[in-house]
Structure 1
Amino acid sequence: MSIQEWIQRVDFYRLGSGAALLALLAFYSPVMLMVLSPTYGALPAHIFHVYGLGAFAAAGWFSKDQVQMRLGRVAAYMLPVLAFWTPTLQYFVMQQSSKLGNPLGPVITELFGYYPLAFLTVAIAGKQIQYSLHLDDMGDVAREHVPLLGSYFIYSAGEHFAKAVLSHFIGFTIFFSRAGLQFVIAVLYAAVVPSKMLLLAIPSVLFSITSDVHFGGISGVNSAIQGEGYSLLARQESYTGYISVLENHHDGFRVMRCDHSLLGGQWTKMTPGYNPEVEDPIYAVFTMLESVRLVETIHGSHRVDADSKALVIGLGVGTTPAALMKHGIDTTVVELDPVVVKFAEQYFNFPSNHAATVDDATKFVKKAMKNPAAHQYDYIVHDVFTGGAEPAELFTIDFLHDLKTLLKDDGVIAINYAGDLELYPTGLVVRTILATFPTCRVFRESEAKPDDENANFTNMVIFCTKRSTGTPLQFRAPERADFLGSNSRKNYLLPKYELDPAMFDPIPKGGRRLLVDKEVKRLYKYQDRGALEHWSIMRQVIPAAVWENW
């Protein structure tokens, strides 16, 4: 049979239908991870997602004949019904996330709707593609493997397309929110496989519209979390995660959230007559970062704020850069996410007249390196959001070396890193910092408590200079003006709890001494434990109901 004759036999309608189903499943994969991230965290959601999806997809492919024989067209008609029910089922499962734990919680959540949907989609789509190609005359090998390879190609291309689209358009409309996209995908399933069985999806649709706080407005969320003493002030989808601003009415603080982590926060409940010039942060680490100003010069003299320049990588709620600006320092802030900048200005009093540069830090630094003489800084504050999993490309020796070039000869860099002191990634990052800058001191945010099971997970600040002085860098004694009228700064401005850098010297078998650009991906497999520890800590900081109801 010639190729022309074979093409004439191809059932393009059935082929298109099968391909469309695979494309929808491919698009659903990154959306599913986005749905899980606010409740379980982005990295824990990834741990078993691919394995579970692969297992159910493979089972669907090899069971497609049995599915066709036992269920017939009913199997296809069930697809849109299951797609509509998936968000409702998962809503109730995620309300039990604390009991399920992590990383078991994401797996169980996907078992309710998504994995069965993957099984049926591949079974139905695989059979449609196989039938449509009419390869019976070409032998069993071609009959089975050509549709399999074609299906894999369609799915892979669809997933890459989905990631590209989501990175540019997430949050653009309600339909491009993570909850909205689940509904859109279900509608598209119904368009590909219309049937009267869709009547069975009506209860789920009604629940989503009336009771699922992820679909509704802010008022619905507030009714769900008011019993915990919290209220939601603002929220917006973004390509770095689900960004929201939460107010705690019992203890009196406000925080900015990204997925299952906090970017920072400020105290809102003040005693009468107490009016600091810059808001008090709820975490001491943000105050500690300001002590870059207190590091003495190599001559032992005080630094002068006037005519000084600072580069802050990572905005958060803007506490540290706002304080530097208040001291009269010309401060440049580089922040990846424009939503973070907007919320910092609107809800955390970050000065709007000092607009942050919205850019990827690696790109910003590369552009600055083209003319380093014009980008010289007295202070560099490296404070990127980690969420239990560091953005490794910002801790490589290559990136840190570029920052060193932008630092003045007598400048100071402060690097904030959150992680478990005993885990390989923490040691790798600290060793890389110490190899880049010859004079450093390492401090943890708070004192380790023997009875704290999470005592090893902490925020650290590493202060460094680019010159080798032969003696440790020294901090001058804070003066009244350094505190900006803030009690928090009186208590936490000067770092207290120093760590011995030698504790990070041991390298596990198969590990590396330094982190370099070309080996960044090697670090990813070690990040799971840190992310899971971070998830547990966040559940102690903010009640489970607040995380679960977004």
Structure 2
Amino acid sequence: MKVLASYGSGQEQILVYETTALFDEKGSFRLLQFADEAVQGAIDLQRPERIVFEYPRALIHVIEHNRRQASVELFIIGHGIGTISRYFNSQSCVTAEIDETVVQLSQEYFGWSGEHVMIGDGRLLLEQEQRQYDYIVLDAFTSKGVPQHLSTVQFFALAHSKLKRHGALLINVTGKGKQDVRSNAMFSTLQHIFPHTSAFTLQSAQQRDIRNSIFIGSNDMLQYRLKSMAGLVPYIPEPGYLLYD
């Protein structure tokens, strides 16, 4: 591992480093990682245009497959290395990122050159927005997963109010699939607000392995092609408790 940048310390540390192995894949990769060893983004140095992780490929497919017009308006909470905003850079895409250092690192080490990033808490910034969006993408994490205040009845109701009639809230979740109590609670809370919900998860060799999942809440049922979901498959989370502020 070759460390290129290190900011902060303890639970606030952010690393940028290069490695020749990413999970089970050999190659040449540059990664953005937080202190809890959670990789927030990666680029393939041999193919920089490639979207490395499965979940942003799946999110992009859902957005593209259900678009109703030439351009889509997105509000993204959680910048990472700017993978999704880079893809939709020519369209109306606003990103909220709580840590300015993350944005600076995405520019310096990961080739992000977009605009329209607001520094601050994503919920507060979304609440201040005067317009509605086609999609809201939630891709924000702490060491405990999606921040509590971004997974409650009140936040999902706010997100619903900021969506156009045919819009959707797309959430990247990490957990243990059906075995994850908090993820189940998040999905039940999403169901409490949105008339249509769906969940997808990466298949894992072990039932309790940590993996990415995607939750979707919308007024209309969204369509997708399973072969374009980058290995994420539909599943039904177990019933959970509702999360409140």
What TM-score does the superposition give when structure 2 sets the normalisation length? 0.87
Q: How far is 1:291 from its partner?
A: 2.3
CA distance, structure 2, for counterparts of residue 413 and residue 495 of structure 1: 20
1:419 aligns with 2:175: yes
Q: Structure 1 residues 386, 253: closer, same or farther in 2, change over 3 A?
A: same
SS at match of 2:213: strand
Q: How far is 1:321 from its partner?
A: 1.3
The one-character-per-residue Cα deviations of 1:8-40 (angstroms, maximum 9, x if unpaired) are xxxxxxxxxxxxxxxxxxxxxxxxxxxxxxxxx
Residues 376, 406 of structure 1: 8 Å contact kept: yes
Q: Structure 1 residues 347, 358: closer, same or farther in 2, change over 3 A?
A: same
1:339 aligns with 2:101: yes
Of 331-340 and 246-255, the range deviating more from structure 2: 246-255
Q: Corresponding residue for 1:221?
A: none
- Structure-to-structure mapping, 1:21-170, within 5 angstroms: none
Q: Structure 1 residues 355, 329: closer, same or farther in 2, change over 3 A?
A: closer
Q: Corresponding residue for 2:136?
A: 380
The one-character-per-residue Cα deviations of 1:420-466 (angstroms, maximum 9, x if unpaired) are 2313211111111121111121101x2232xx3643x221111221x
User: Residue 113 of structure 2 aligns to which amino acid in structure 1?
Assistant: P
RMSD: 2.4
Q: Structure 1 residues 351, 493: closer, same or farther in 2, change over 3 A?
A: farther
1:473 aligns with 2:222: yes
Q: How far is 1:249 from its partner?
A: 3.7
SS at match of 1:390: coil
In percent, how many aligned pairs have the same letter? 24
Residues 386, 417 of structure 1: 8 Å contact kept: no
CA distance, structure 2, for counterparts of residue 504 and residue 281 of structure 1: 31
1:282 aligns with 2:86: no
Runs of 4+ deviating beyond 6 Å: none
Q: Structure 1 residues 376, 453: closer, same or farther in 2, change over 3 A?
A: closer
Q: Structure 1 residues 284, 494: closer, same or farther in 2, change over 3 A?
A: closer
Q: How far is 1:282 from its partner?
A: 2.9
Which structure features the higher share of strand residues? 2
How many residues get paired?
A: 238
Q: 1:398 aligns with which of 136, 148, 154?
A: 154
Q: How far is 1:246 from its partner?
A: 0.6
Q: Structure 1 residues 355, 282: closer, same or farther in 2, change over 3 A?
A: same
Q: Corresponding residue for 1:115?
A: none
Residues 316, 385 of structure 1: 8 Å contact kept: no
Q: How far is 1:339 from its partner?
A: 0.4
CA distance, structure 2, for counterparts of residue 262 and residue 344 of structure 1: 13
Q: Structure 1 residues 235, 253: closer, same or farther in 2, change over 3 A?
A: same
Residues 292, 463 of structure 1: 8 Å contact kept: no
Q: Structure 1 residues 238, 323: closer, same or farther in 2, change over 3 A?
A: farther
Q: 2:69 aligns with which of 304, 310, 326?
A: 304
Query: Which of the pair has more CA radius of gyration?
Result: 1
Residues 253, 282 of structure 1: 8 Å contact kept: no
SS at match of 1:363: helix
User: Residue 28 of structure 2 aligns to which amino acid in structure 1?
Assistant: G
CA distance, structure 2, for counterparts of residue 400 and residue 266 of structure 1: 31
CA distance, structure 1, for counterparts of residue 208 and residue 88 of structure 2: 32
Q: 1:313 aligns with which of 73, 77, 81?
A: 77
The one-character-per-residue Cα deviations of 1:119-148 (angstroms, maximum 9, x if unpaired) are xxxxxxxxxxxxxxxxxxxxxxxxxxxxxx
